[in-house]
Chains A and B, each alone.
Chain A
Amino acid sequence: MSTAEAATATDPNAGIIQMIGVHKWYGEFHVLRDINLSVTKGERIVLCGPSGSGKSTLIRCINRLEEHQKGQIIVDGVELTGNLKQIEAVRREVGMVFQHFNLFPHLTILENCTLAPIWVRKEPKAQAEATAMKYLERVRIPEQANKYPGQLSGGQQQRVAIARSLCMNPKVMLFDEPTSALDPEMVKEVLDVMIGLAEEGMTMLCVTHEMGFAKSVANRVLFMDRGEIVEQNEPHEFFNNPQSDRTKLFLSQILSH
């Protein structure tokens, strides 16, 4: 706790997420190599790169779904260490949306959205339900509130997953390829919700291959390859004037179809 407090105390402009010299290994395999990243409040970052480059691993380290072995990760002034209390404190402030939605199939949509506010934030049930309905309206599916996830389409499920995260009133939202498990006709409805969030000033870190989204929404695009952040730039420069050969190769592959 003391180091984390010191970090915020000494640098008031420090980002809401700070990764300093982060390394991670899976056994022998070096997945993250010297990651340095600072995200300021309200910033919208898109993370791209070839499959297996470590994008998921990177954002999963931010809410400690994965453990890093070296370096520091500080989220909203709290350093992620083995301390469970600190991990839970970070997770309360960081929402996450998964590729495969991961809704709770035994709970209704409304229950999915109110579970964490009631049990983690200790909100009264009525208040949690009112908040949940507000966000379900935001993602435009209030009429599904009493259905079960299995009865919804993929796009609807992903919008519920976003609403579920928003109900915790997070300071940061992490997205791990939120549209890549969706049928093409459903991608837009999810992206629209994400664009809306961005417009409201949500801090977002988003792994995606939706380059249109990156161009119109991101402040910064990060390119990762083999566990490193190879290049980062604001979107216009990133797409029109890539510096490294690896970025050029990646962009030519991804934009060719």
Chain B
Amino acid sequence: MTTSAPSPIAPDSATVSRPLVNRLGPLAWMRRNLFSTWYNALLTVLIVWVLAQAIPALFHWLISNSLLAPATSQECRLVDGACWAFIQEKYRLILFGTFPYNQQWRPLFAVVLVIAMLLASCDRRMWNRRLGVIWGVGMTMVAILMWGGVLGLDYVENSLWGGLPLTLLLAVVGLAVAFPLSILLALGRRSRLPIIKSLSVTYIELIRGVPLISLLFMASVMLPLFLPVGMNPDKLLRAQIAFIMFAAAYLAEVIRGGLQAIPRGQYEAADALGLTYWQKTVKIILPQALTIVIPPIVNTFIAFFKDTSLVMIIGIFDLMNASKAALNDAEWRGFYRESYLFIAVIYFVFCFFMSKYSQSLERDLKRGHQH
């Protein structure tokens, strides 16, 4: 970049002076970046106009005309803007659904525990057996907290669960089970054994050809028809199974993409060293294939995290459905903007974190093997 005189120390990037060309005055900057061509100019004007329409209205509703303080629903209806009293009144119903009111510290703890475990799992130094133990113990504690029935906790059947813990559990358990399953499916689809291959292909194509909603319906309405009489897994479990089946099929295709990107030489080198199929797969192929597909995997994770909200159509009170339930209160009917904004923020925080984490993970792993 700079052709300075040879110096005994290599100049580090911070001390290298930047070229001055991009220090433009504001007018020149605008001309270059906003009005460089007629259609750029048109777009700029259009966007400014849209923003001018939207921002003041949003500002009025969200801030200047909103009511933050506690209030009754009558007072709220007189306000022009957002009335956060609704959330103050209903947040426990939205967050914890119909879990017995005086026991709601239990789902709260469960959520905190799950989030703590997720955060711990983000650290790559933790990726070993210990993490499995942590999750085993942690999920047992979550189960005890949610169900109870031991240690002096009242039993709470899972039809009463709802809100954020339910959404989190559906997503975390669902993806945790679907992920290894999807790896097996992806490997199966590339297998040279015809039976394994055709089973995997059939499964993936069948599931992908059906919308998640209809799979949830089938799981809740039709599954009992196929199962022996007397065996009647509860609604939540059925939804969880449908969710796992669906996620596994989608993730399998993402992972297959990664497997296909691995050059043949890697397989040959592993074979030539005498590694068995599973050694080759676990030590050589999967680490590389999964690294390649981190972005689409996280994309799928995010999509499925939000798709858990579809369980509401079979009457499970996840975060989304619980917020609808909160709106059913005749006294507070109509505050749907506040309600949906509230849960949108919750969904967003989780999804945004996943996205940020995947970026940093990708960067770390790339730095690992510097291509």
Contacts and interface: CB of A to CB of B under 8 A. Distances in A.
Interface in B288-314: 288, 291
B273 A65 contact: no
A125 to B, nearest CB: 14
8 contacts: A65-B272, A88-B276, A94-B272, A116-B274, A116-B275, A119-B279, A148-B369, A165-B272
Interface string A24-55: 00000000000000000000000000000000
Given A100-B265, A104-B266, 7 more contacts: A63-B271, A65-B268, A96-B272, A102-B263, A106-B369, A148-B369, A150-B370
Given A115-B283, A119-B279, A150-B371, A105 B288 contact: yes
Given A102-B269, A105-B369, A148-B369, A120 B288 contact: no
Contacts of A98: 265, 268-269
How many chain A residues sit at the interface, stated as a range, is 20 to 34
A92 interface: yes
Interface of A: 63, 65, 88, 91-92, 94-96, 98, 100, 102-106, 115-116, 119-120, 148-151, 164-165, 168
B369 A102 contact: no
B24 to A, nearest CB: 39
B196 interface: no
B287 interface: yes
Nearest to B284: A104
B368 interface: yes
A120 B272 contact: no
Contacts of A149: 369
Contacts of A151: 370
Given A104-B284, A105-B371, A106-B288, A91 B269 contact: no
B250 to A, nearest CB: 25
Contacts, number: 66
Contacts of B266: 102, 104
B368 A106 contact: yes
Interface in B345-371: 365, 368-371
Given A102-B265, A148-B370, A119 B283 contact: yes
Given A102-B268, A104-B269, A120 B275 contact: yes
A229 to B, nearest CB: 23
Contacts of B291: 106
Which has the most chain B C-beta neighbours within 10 Å: A103, A105, A148, A168? A105
A155 B112 CA distance: 53
Contacts of A92: 274
Contacts of B271: 63, 65, 91
A168 B273 contact: yes
Contacts of A103: 269
Contacts of A94: 272
A165 B270 CA distance: 11
A150 B369 contact: yes
Nearest to A90: B274
A168 B274 CA distance: 9
B94 to A, nearest CB: 44
A102 B288 CA distance: 13
A120 B279 contact: yes
A178 to B, nearest CB: 13
B275 A119 contact: yes
Given A65-B268, A106-B291, A120 B273 contact: yes
B180 to A, nearest CB: 20
B165 to A, nearest CB: 37
A95 B287 CA distance: 24
Contact of B274 (A100, A106, A120, A150): A120
Nearest to A103: B269
A116 B273 contact: yes
Given A98-B268, A119-B283, A91 B370 contact: no
A96 B270 CA distance: 10
